[in-house]
Copies of this chain bind each other. A is one copy, B any other.
Amino acid sequence: LGKPLRDMDKEREALQAWKERVEQELDRVVAFWMEHSHDQEHGGFFTCLGRDGQVYDDLKYVWLQGRQVWMYCRLYRKFERFRSPELLDSAKAGGEFLLRFARVAPPGKKCAFVLTRDGQPIKVQRTIFSECFYTMAMNELWRVTGEARYQNEAVEMMDQIVYWVREDPSGLGRPCLPGAPASESMAVPMMLLNLVDQLGEADEELAGTYAELGDWCAQRILQHVQRDGQAVLENVSEDGGELSGCLGRHQNPGHALEAGWFLLRHAIRKGDPELRARVIDKFLLLPFRSGWDPDHGGLFYFQDADGLCPTQVGMCPGPHGTGLFKAFFPGRWVPSSPGWVIEAAWVSERGTCPFRDPEHGEWFGYLTREGKVALTIKGGPFKGCFHVPRCLAMCEEMLGALLGRLAPAPSPGPGSPAAVPARQAAK
């Protein structure tokens, strides 16, 4: 055998080993939520779970209800081994819980932020995010069940969200104060672009309906690249300029990476190589470069574009799970080997991923800068069954696609290294 073929064998083996590892991890994460989070009595999910899965509060955060429904459906739809009635039934029970209780004053579409266990509203946010996760859940439920009422809910809620964002935000209930700058949070066009992707999947009609919206979102997200292309800022003025003060200098590298992921998918849909190159440069390489902690590794949760100290009370500047989970995805598109990204995220200098919990499953969400577990909870107001399994599922798909593109493995002779089963090799 010539040398290039041996190299390809090595690469195949490495990718296969990573795929096995990712598969096992995803299984463990899903098992954690299946075991601990289902509310058999009221439907929906407990998401305030301690390290070992103990329910430490029975609050139901609407973002997390919607995200878990979406995640279960997505796994059911895309992975053979997750096509179980239990997963589907739980997703449907979560969907029914949302249909009955998410809206604060039906038929009005404003959704609560957090509900009691039995669905009474506790708090309402004056933003669009509860409604966005509601939409994702309903669209994905429609895809797995084929029931039109879910899709109707998704499309009607989407129309409402777009109206709030582009026509008239007054229904969100935010007061208009003369000193408040007209600013845009990157989260808004980013979330909307994600919904355009979600609703338009294999649906030419809706993809057409939202095509202009997708372009608008992309253009708005790109406005957040500031300072001669050297920084992605979370908040900019309505007309795309830098805002003064902390608000204007605020950065979240993990968020920039997530926006980059949505933008890349948009560029691929559009067949726009120029946009694709720009996104890789500004939303993948740049945040990895400027957001990476040179001392301890990991991505910073928050940064100030001038290098000043962030001001959030009690916010620890340090690497943040969500950011790091999202770090996986660029492997699909960054031209160099995907290995380094996966390894950077998974393996710390100590040779093990500091976010993983080998004892109880799922991952910790919050580490100190030095990589110590800061909060031991597995779920809380903003972390549920979403970022970690979404990231692992995506990695598994990417690794499968990469393996599929390699030439098939040669039929191994006895004693050849390729004869070792990949699952064993990965251990």
Binding site for B on A (CB under 8 A): 48, 50-51, 56-59, 104, 112, 115-116, 119-124, 175, 177-181, 244-246, 301, 308-317, 366, 368, 374-377, 380-382
Task: Report which of B119, B244, B245, B314 forms a contact with A316, defined as CB distance below 8 A.
Answer: B314
Task: Report which of B119, B244, B311 forms a contact with A377, defined as CB distance below 8 A.
Answer: B311
A48 partner residues in chain B, CB cutoff 8 A: 245-246, 311
Asked if B56 contacts A308 (CB within 8 A), the reply is: yes
A-B contact pairs, 14 of them (CB 8 A): A48-B246, A50-B309, A56-B311, A57-B244, A57-B245, A58-B245, A104-B177, A119-B179, A120-B179, A122-B179, A123-B177, A123-B180, A313-B366, A317-B374
Task: Report which of B122, B179, B316, B376 forms a contact with A374, defined as CB distance below 8 A.
Answer: B316
Asked if A246 contacts B57 (CB within 8 A), the reply is: yes
| Copies of this protein in the complex | 2
- Complex Cα distance, B115 from A48, in Å, reads 36
A382 partner residues in chain B, CB cutoff 8 A: 313
A112 partner residues in chain B, CB cutoff 8 A: 177, 179
Asked if A316 contacts B313 (CB within 8 A), the reply is: no
Nearest CB in chain B: distance from A307 CB, A: 11
A317 partner residues in chain B, CB cutoff 8 A: 374-375
- Complex Cα distance, B112 from A51, in Å, reads 40
Asked if B179 contacts A308 (CB within 8 A), the reply is: no
The 9 closest A-B pairs by CB, nearest first: A120-B179, A314-B315, A57-B245, A116-B179, A122-B179, A311-B380, A316-B316, A121-B177, A309-B376
Asked if B375 contacts A310 (CB within 8 A), the reply is: yes
Asked if B316 contacts A368 (CB within 8 A), the reply is: yes
Task: Report which of B59, B120, B121, B314 forms a contact with A312, defined as CB distance below 8 A.
Answer: B314
Given the interface pairs A120-B178, A177-B123, the reply to whether A59 lies near B245 with Cβ below 8 Å is yes
Given the interface pairs A123-B177, A123-B180, the reply to whether A313 lies near B368 with Cβ below 8 Å is no
Given the interface pairs A245-B57, A314-B315, the reply to whether A115 lies near B179 with Cβ below 8 Å is yes
Task: Report which of B121, B314, B374 forms a contact with A301, defined as CB distance below 8 A.
Answer: B314
| Chain B, residue nearest A57 (CB) | B245
| Chain B, residue nearest A60 (CB) | B179
Asked if B375 contacts A56 (CB within 8 A), the reply is: no
A316 partner residues in chain B, CB cutoff 8 A: 314, 316, 368, 374
Nearest CB in chain B: distance from A182 CB, A: 12
Asked if A311 contacts B375 (CB within 8 A), the reply is: yes
Q: Can you name 9 extra interface pairs (CB under 8 A) apart from A121-B179, A122-B179?
A: A56-B246, A104-B177, A121-B178, A122-B180, A311-B377, A313-B381, A314-B315, A314-B316, A316-B374
| Chain B, residue nearest A380 (CB) | B311
- Complex Cα distance, B315 from A48, in Å, reads 16
